[in-house]
Amino acid sequence: MTLMKSWVTSANAADHPFPLNNLPYGVFSTDALDPRCGVAIGDMILDCSAAEEAGLITLTEAALFDVPFWNEVMEEGPELWAALRARLTEILVEGSADRAAAEPLLVPQADAQMHLPFLVSEYTDFYAGRHHATNVGTMFRGAENALPPNWLHVPIGYNGRASSVVVSGTEVRRPWGQLKSPDHDTPAFLPCRRFDLELEMGAIVGQPSDGPVTVDEADAMIFGYVLLNDWSARDIQAWEYQPLGPFQAKATATSISPWIVTAAALEPFRVDCPAREVELLDHLKDTGPMLYDIDLSVTLAPDGEAETEIARTNYREMYYSSAQQLAHHTTSGCPMNPGDLLGSGTISGAGKHQRGSLLELSWGGKEPITLENGQTRSFIEDGDTITLHGAARGQGYTIGFGTCAGKVTPALEDPYKR
């Protein structure tokens, strides 16, 4: 597929993240406008609420855009998703008869504040990147026991906190927790000392399930994707995770990018999952290309200073696709709901520069990385801003997500002071 040209001229640059080929969905506000649904096109946002009121978007008898979240659209299902995308394309394409009516409804992105684009029903995070799992397992169990016995057979995950999901730009406070030192017999309650990022993609479930679904059915249920940073308190995690896995170490925050890039926009970038070392059971087998060719990177900026790129990888490095994760999630009969968020797990590649967490990049703190300003990092320090970047690149166009950024602020002096 090649670039589709829009009358919004900024959308036609080959390196712009929001061409007509993309049309990602977000929620924005301005000084004059309350939070509402919008679609990014070039450096502008089409106000969907205003477009619906003006009669430019009339796909259902009931209003779709009278609420500041995209769950109402998700619940309508894939046929409406396709019809909406087609209608938005018709409005914004070069030479559109709707230009005169739509142009006054554009809002500069520079004037907008972004909000969570959907109501997060529930949140599940997976551990489905083989390089990440191998690196972490090697650090803690040795290379010969790096992967748990079940890892090549099933996507491992845990249920996280939907209440802690925040939009890009939200500051993240360093958490307190129980820390166990190798030099002491008992834990201490202290601020986290090994705060980390995890570079992930988030899949947004757009349709409900009631009983097990196939991989293909799961794939059709996914509304879109966001960048996702699964902030992780490694020292809290090390003490708490046995025997039931992560808990408070993962509950501080989960940051997501502000724009939902639809599965339809990513369709031209599908790629196969990696070759299987062992054959998956029938209900999880690959049925075609289920991953996407999306370039990903991480930058770290100390307070008030320039950023340094610390990692670069690609979403195609995942071992399990979001469709396989979703299909597995339903095997017990667990109902899925529109607005459920699935974290992919940390996305790392084979090379050191492709590692999607500081735990891996610094090899547990033993090999600190060096920033552009000469400072070193083993884990995140107060004042650091972590930013995730992602883009799929087509012939003369780019599909972007917007950045996923968060600045880490100091822990509370006394978390129980009232």
Show the domains of the chain with their CATH numbers. 9-115 (2.30.30.230), 123-409 (3.90.850.10)
377 is in an annotated binding site: no
Query: Residue 45 in contact with residue 112, Cβ under 8 Å?
Result: yes
- pLDDT score of 180: 87
292 is in an annotated binding site: no
Query: Residue 389 in contact with residue 228, Cβ under 8 Å?
Result: no
- pLDDT score of 10: 98
- Separation in Å, CA 115 to CA 34, 44, 166, 168: 11, 16, 8, 8
Report the distance separating Cα 188 and Cα 83, nearest Å.
56
- pLDDT score of 418: 82
127 is in an annotated binding site: yes
Catalytic residue status for 132: yes
- pLDDT score of 251: 96
Query: Residue 131 in contact with residue 354, Cβ under 8 Å?
Result: yes
242 is in an annotated binding site: no
- Separation in Å, CA 329 to CA 54, 67, 140, 165, 333: 41, 29, 27, 20, 8
Per the confidence metrics, is the pTM higher than 0.85?
yes
- pLDDT score of 184: 72
241 is in an annotated binding site: yes
Neighbours of 10 (CB within 10 A): 14
- pLDDT score of 356: 98
Neighbours of 60 (CB within 10 A): 14
53 is in an annotated binding site: no
Report the distance separating Cα 395 and Cα 15, nearest Å.
11
User: Which residue of the set 16, 115, 131, 132 is catalytic?
Assistant: 132
- pLDDT score of 261: 99
Low-confidence ranges of the chain (pLDDT < 70): none
217 is in an annotated binding site: no
Question: If residue 219 lies in a helix (H) or strand (E), which one and from where to where?
Answer: helix 215-221
